[in-house]
Chains A and B, each alone.
Chain A
Amino acid sequence: MIGLNVDLVGIAAVVGLVVLLLVFVFLGRRWPAVFRPIKGFEALGVAIERAVEAGERVHLSLGTGSVTGAEVAPALAGLAVLSRVAAATTMSDRPVVVTAGDGAMAILAQDTLRSAYERVGAGERYQATSGRMLGPTPFSYAAGLPTILATEDVSVHMLMGSFGVEGALAADFGERQGAFVLAGTDDIQTQALLYATAEHPLIGEEVFAGGAYLNVGPLHRASLRTQDVVRMLIIGLILVGTVVRTVMDLL
């Protein structure tokens, strides 16, 4: 903090991230990014195609986090993926169904679905009941999932949002149904549970990479490149700090 109580370092960090993001959008036009393969996202396209052809449903869970909470970020990443998945399933007899544990999140899911349908000229196929709130508490949400999975003939079960331990149950219900299960969240402990329960777990920041891997837009691809650059920078700073501290202690 200086003079006018302004955290210049924080503002510089945000501005720096925005500048890097825009630079990578520009660079991405000339030199498209090549990302390492993530098995879950690679297999997702085939699983969705199969579901559409078989007249089965794709289910996306946005988790049990609230829009006003700090845990909103993975659900926002899930909504970006939803816009792509909804567009791919508009011609299906059984379009994608989205569930959330928060009322506001369910409304955002409905808006995203409606926009995706209108964008591909299938606005009349949009149903408001495709975006649902299942239950306001984590376990009431999890308790509502088996009925949806069984009665709606779900064969692709995606979890992209904020989950606690109930995320493991949510993924396990999909596995018991024999569905393709792709699951990711921001909570590290839940990620360990999803590693055991889901067929295709998303580890670390992979839950935020869905938009880039599914070609949602240039800013999504630029985001991944920005993350990589900033991560390397931070790792470098940590290593330099460690060496400097060690040398200082020795002297």
Chain B
Amino acid sequence: MRLRLSLVWVAVVIGVGLIVLLGFFVDQPVILDIRRILISWAVLLSAAALVLGLYNLLSVHWHKVSLQERGWPYSALLVLCFLVTLTLGLLFGPDYPVILMLFRYIQVPVEASLMALLAISLTVAGFRLVARHRDLLSLIFAIVAFVVLLGTGPWLVGGGGGAYELVRDLRNWVAQVWAAGGARGMLLGVALGATLTGLRVLLGSDRPYGD
């Protein structure tokens, strides 16, 4: 019985996938309409899944708090903030001044701080890369990164001078010829990999929705 049920899911996925895929190649109103309906269903289901995901987030942290597992104070803080924000949002709507204030003065600065942390992390990672992998590729990576930085930020070599123009031209040559060429080659591989991953799902070989 269970096997038959899983075959039903596979058939549904293949059928829906084929109709959506066909919509890219066949310009027929019937197929395009069905495709549009299926995609709008997917968007609705995705929104419902977001609610389930938030419930999952809450239950994981609630479980940690109730068992007082390691790091439970962080979970308690998350549960508290989650419930306060959710309650305010549900009662007063997303445009309520307190909600906007929470967004403007907490979420945006935290995310901006993480972006700033990224610059530090990448600098440290660059040094770690050269120290850990003492090979030609790492050396080239470090030199190219340094040249691109010099060519992008003229303050290091003085703006407007001959040295700056040389570094800027070198940076443009590296970025527009070598990097762009290499990136296009890699994109070709990525596109093929993504296409075949999708085809495996369409053929029912990969079943991320379970057996």
Contact = CB atoms under 8 A, between A and B. Distances in A.
Interface residues of A, number: 79
A17 B193 CA distance: 12
Interface string B14-45: 00000001001111100000000001001101
Q: Please classify how large the interface on chain B is, using the bins under 10, 10 to 19, 20 to 34, 35 or more.
A: 35 or more
B114 A139 contact: yes
B interface: dominant SS: helix
Contacts of B129: 195-196
A4 B206 CA distance: 33
Given A111-B208, A188-B186, A197-B125, A134 B50 contact: no
Interface string A68-99: 10000110110110000000000000000000
Interface of A: 1, 4-7, 10-11, 14, 17-18, 21, 66-68, 73-74, 76-77, 79-80, 100, 102-104, 106-108, 111-112, 114-115, 118-119, 128-129, 131-137, 139-140, 142-143, 147, 150-151, 165-166, 168-169, 172, 175, 186, 188, 191, 193, 195-197, 199, 203-205, 207-209, 211, 217, 219-220, 223, 226-227, 230-231, 234
29 contacts: A6-B25, A7-B26, A10-B24, A67-B49, A68-B42, A76-B208, A80-B197, A103-B49, A103-B53, A107-B49, A107-B52, A108-B208, A128-B56, A132-B60, A133-B54, A133-B57, A139-B114, A143-B114, A168-B121, A168-B125, A172-B121, A188-B187, A193-B122, A196-B125, A196-B129, A205-B189, A205-B192, A217-B205, A219-B205
B35 to A, nearest CB: 13
A66 B46 contact: yes
A25 B8 CA distance: 24
Contacts of B51: 103
Given A6-B27, A234-B188, A227 B193 contact: yes
B171 to A, nearest CB: 15
Contact of A208 (B21, B57, B186, B194): B194
A76 B201 contact: yes
Interface in B115-131: 115, 117-118, 121-122, 124-126, 128-129
Contacts of A1: 27
